[in-house]
A = this chain, B = another copy of it.
């Protein structure tokens, strides 16, 4: 860690204004569910009225959007990183009566860190005792779902996914194209019962460790809004604790639905604690990274005991999902030898090395049922890792990748036998014509368990722009059925992302996810496009900025060309200048067509329009008619 302990504590008092300032033009609201402690956050964007010059002045109702940013963007919230977020699910978890707080930590490593006084200065100060399922109990959301129980989490999610679409009354906002969902089952309105049913069937997961009561529940499944994950994490080369928490808050500001902490450096345990305690979104990890650190980076020295202890350590901190590379089987490893880029997954290559060194089957595979026992005691979800994913176009859809995917399908069924929530990780680098085959095979092999893909990148030739090469693949695979997209930043293949890269990566992926939702026909997706386009057409510049994914960037770009505030209400585009605006000309066409009763042009033509044409010209036919 770069920061001195005192420096850390100082930094922990305050996030930068850049990551916490309210998002322009909107306010945080909470939609109450069936009980007073069920308060679903949304962001409500205030809209200005349609100006008088375009006909009758009419108000535009505020527009609600999904909000991942947690309390950080709420000016009324008090943020104290050293205290952590409030535990909004604590009562729900306690009420279920199937788990209890422990006397102390169950993992050996966790205890050794707790006992090490040297760590006091970097330790998260407000630790609470971990909870675990009572003996013989299963605390997974899937377990409840299969027993017919609609949890508060499920109700919360139903409200959240609908984004108050049911409150919209303007017909033009509800207008939408039929989607093509490739066999997904998108209901017109999402009900708590629908959420329960999807979780019970394994088609969706609610990552929600009982030791992470701070989360605002969310769901990952192909019949819900497409989600986006952002990776953060320090490494030997870079980044300290305070910096990672700042990145977390920045990531959720720009729309990360979950965050993976991929730290591999020093103080990995303490960094994770700070992140989880301050995260309103589910946190995922790759436990093998930490396990490897415990054996000084020697993959061949890894053991089941060390790994098991790591799972428990992290589960008791509150990690919501674990990437487990249990599909990297010994027999698949040599299938990668002739690849152009071999094995590019860190977890995959660690396990490949272990398998070859011992000439034994992957211990994650042989101990898979024991892992399930741990998962269900805390409700940690599986993210079954694709350790053999292709690292370049040439290696896409090969025998190693698809062999592993078949094994992940087999493991999914085992996890489901234990009522453990499961999603499946996918590639990687795949040219466009091979993307659908990935999705179809995943759905088939894994019984519609949610797919969670990295990109895929659709070409290898653009280092520095892989957020774009991969947003193309992400939008497509999201459309085909992928439930969550793992972002890629511009630094992919080149370096570690900084804060600016996190924003660029998230924007590319929010675009991909939304494009996918539109194409699938998600009921609440197109309303925002319609609202923004109407604002654009009516030159409501501020509304256009605020309805966009990044109001700050939109405003900044507009100001570069037309910096004056007066131009925000200008009735022309900054591209064409005041005398040459197609939007304005169109408006004239519309007024003319409406005012003169020529909406039915066929009829109008019959009536002979020469006279009307003369009238139009006599009126001025001007772009800037004042009324």
Contacts and interface: CB of A to CB of B under 8 A. Distances in A.
B340 A172 contact: yes
Chain B CB within 10 Å, residue with most, of A335, A397, A585: A585
A10 interface: no
A589 B337 contact: yes
A278 B400 CA distance: 52
Interface in A566-587: 573-580, 582-583, 585-587
Given A346-B582, A359-B605, A462-B550, 16 more contacts: A236-B576, A236-B579, A236-B580, A238-B561, A297-B579, A333-B601, A334-B598, A343-B589, A391-B533, A393-B518, A458-B475, A459-B515, A461-B528, A464-B554, A468-B468, A493-B536
B432 A519 contact: yes
B548 A464 contact: yes
A476 to B, nearest CB: 7
Across the A-B interface, give the 6 residue pairs with the lowest CB-CB distance, nearest first: A342-B586, A495-B561, A236-B577, A392-B533, A359-B609, A334-B601
Contact of A394 (B467, B493, B520, B530): B530
Interface string A534-547: 10110000001101
B357 A617 contact: yes
Contact of A464 (B289, B336, B553, B577): B553
B337 A590 contact: yes
A132 to B, nearest CB: 31
Contact of A601 (B331, B348, B468, B557): B331
B341 A460 contact: no
Interface in A514-532: 514-516, 518-521, 526, 528-530, 532
Interface string A475-503: 11001000000000011011110100000
A555 to B, nearest CB: 9
Interface stretch (A35-43, A108-116, A156-164, A505-513): A505-513
A435 to B, nearest CB: 9
A308 interface: no
Contacts of A578: 236
A397 to B, nearest CB: 8
Interface stretch (A11-19, A173-181, A196-204, A364-372): A173-181
B431 A580 contact: no
B496 A461 contact: no
Nearest to A538: B341
B432 A393 contact: no
Contacts of A599: 334, 337-338
Contacts of A298: 621
Given A461-B532, A464-B550, A602-B331, A432 B515 contact: yes
Interface string A614-627: 00110001010000
B465 A507 contact: yes
23 contacts: A172-B340, A177-B434, A235-B576, A237-B561, A264-B577, A340-B537, A342-B586, A342-B590, A343-B589, A356-B589, A356-B613, A391-B536, A459-B511, A459-B518, A461-B549, A465-B507, A465-B511, A465-B550, A467-B468, A471-B471, A476-B476, A494-B561, A498-B560
A604 interface: yes
Interface string A347-383: 0111011001111000000000000000000000000
A594 interface: yes
Contacts of A534: 340-341
B605 A495 contact: no
B526 A393 contact: yes
A429 to B, nearest CB: 8
A274 to B, nearest CB: 21
A344 B612 CA distance: 24
Given A236-B580, A514-B461, A589 B336 contact: yes
B533 A394 contact: yes
A361 to B, nearest CB: 10
A298 B172 CA distance: 32
A613 B358 contact: yes
A68 to B, nearest CB: 15
B562 A237 contact: yes
Contacts of A330: 601, 605
Contact of A582 (B345, B587, B605): B345
Chain B CB within 10 Å, residue with most, of A346, A461, A469, A560: A461
Contacts of A289: 580
A183 to B, nearest CB: 14
A405 interface: no
A200 to B, nearest CB: 29
Nearest to A598: B334
A172 B340 CA distance: 8
Contacts of A324: none
Nearest to A544: B463
A57 interface: no
A235 B495 contact: no
A121 interface: no
Contacts of A576: 235-236, 264, 346
Interface string A447-469: 00000000000111111110111
A593 interface: yes
Nearest to A601: B334
A98 interface: no
A249 interface: no
